[in-house]
Amino acid sequence: MTLFSEDDLEFNFSDAIEAVRFDDDSLHGQSTMKRVDFIAEYEDRFVFVEVKDPDNPVSANPEAFRQKLVSGNLIPDLAGKYRDSLWFRVLSGKVGKPVHYVVLLSMAALDPALLLAKQDELHRCLPLNHKDWSLPFAQACVILNLDQYKKQFGTHTVRRISAGA
């Protein structure tokens, strides 16, 4: 069973062929490249997962996070994490399947309409296709809240550690 935690969330990637904690200094050395938190390989795709958890009970300042999201300052950071992570994987020769980028934004108080608007902003920062590209930059790019993530990947795939079982 492949379990990784990120703050107060625990991810179960046991249905993946392989999963790695990609945001790990031992993997990247002194690099200043931005990184997604996890990369999971499945039969038909890679899934890059970035986690933002302002609902963590010990989160320092969830309102500051909300302001960063609303102001538009968060989206370029999320785009940079994907671009740098994909670049690292391409140069490492670890591609060959479509890539899906999933941002889990665990903030229950967030309006679903705002979530969709931010997803549109992320698509503008990360155009999925271009007329000169032979492959899509990403097969899919979504921002999901915790409930949407569980619906998409299964209820067993993520849990809040502080909630227990």
For residue range 43-94, what is the model confidence (pLDDT) as tens digits? 999 999 999 999 999 988 889 999 999 998 999 999 999 999 999 999 999 9
Give the bridge partners for 52, in sequence order. Answer: 105
> Model-level pTM?
0.94
**How sure is the predictor about 164, in pLDDT bands with cuts at 50, 70 and 90?**
confident
Q: Are 84 and 27 in contact (CB under 8 A)?
A: no
Domain limits, the chain = 3-163
Q: Are 5 and 161 in contact (CB under 8 A)?
A: yes
Task: Quote the CA–CA distance of 151 and 164 in Å, as a whole number.
Answer: 20
Task: Please name which of 32, 33, 11, 29 lies closest in space to residue 21, comparing C-alpha atoms.
Answer: 11
Residue 29 structure tokens: 């050395």
